[in-house]
Amino acid sequence: MSTTTTTKTPFKREILEDETNQEVTSLLQHNLTDLIDLALLMKQAHWNVVGQNFRSIHLQLDEIIETVRAGSDEVAERIVTLGGPADGRSSTVVAESELEEYPGGFVKVSETIAKVADALKQMIDSLRSAIEKLGELDAISEDMLIALSGELEKHLWMLQAQEV
């Protein structure tokens, strides 16, 4: 079986100039990798959280996962819109994600909240770093990450409110 891979679509009408496009898609790909890993981390937490108030955190994690998955899909589609291939393969996520590894096994509610909040904060920091760089490169991609960061920041607030 033969597969052909390309690093650029044959679109005739490019949205951004080559160098800018390459920088934008690289920033987006970095965040796509972390978003995919974050969704997996959240699902691991969702399945294995135990303790008092289990149900509320279990359900809350699913809400966050929906936001993260929708965001990763939007980021991937933006990469492809710009003519690059989005890479969400598990091997890429393992090799390139910068998120801290989530523990295996059962994790108590308080530790789950802390670890998930830490992962969300790390993701938000990555998004904000990309937003800062995208401001001069591509306002559309910048706006997309701003919207996603705002949603994740709200989820972070709701998690942290439970730690007080």
Predicted confidence pLDDT, tens digits, the chain (164 residues): 445 455 666 666 788 988 999 999 999 999 999 999 999 999 999 999 999 999 999 999 999 999 999 999 999 999 999 999 999 999 999 999 999 999 999 999 999 999 999 999 999 999 999 999 999 999 999 999 999 999 999 999 999 999 98
CA 76, 82, 85, 87 dihedral sign is negative
CATH classification of the domain holding 55 = 1.20.1260.10
Both structure tokens of 144: 């997309």
Q: Would 31 be classed as within a structural domain? A: yes
| Strand-pair partners of 107 | 49
pLDDT for 82: 94
User: Domain range spanning residue 117?
Assistant: 18-160
25, 84 contact by CB (below 8 A)? yes
pTM greater than 0.85 (yes/no): yes
Q: Would 156 be classed as within a structural domain? A: yes
